[in-house]
Amino acid sequence: MQSLENLLSVCYSFKQGQFGIEEFQNRLLTAAIPDNISKQFTNQLANFDNRIEEIIYCSAPSTRKEYANKVADDLIQATLAEQKRLDEAGSYKK
């Protein structure tokens, strides 16, 4: 089983400026994630992808990084919550 550390790593790397918004989106879409994530978290991942897409195509270039950082922060929080849920269910492996 994959851990959710992949998603956290992508978010932290983006926030540190290691790659741009488009690469952030691509890495999120291709990150290996566990099969046993909740339906709610699956929906959240789709929502984060939609938010990034909107930022890329609808936001001024000068504000994209700021908005994408907010998405990364929100994704970090959602991922940590999902890790906790899986850990409490006894099905999470780090």
pTM summary value:
0.89
| Res. 93 pLDDT band, cuts 50 70 90 | low
33 vs 50: CA distance, rounded Å: 18
Q: Kindly report, residue by residue over 75-86, the tens digit of the pLDDT.
A: 999 999 999 998
Q: For residue 42, give both structure tokens.
A: 């699956």
Cα distances (angstroms) measured from residue 62 to each of 7, 10, 26, 78, 86: 25, 22, 21, 26, 38
Q: Kindly report, residue by residue over 30-77, the tens digit of the pLDDT.
A: 988 888 899 999 999 999 999 999 999 999 999 999 999 999 999 999
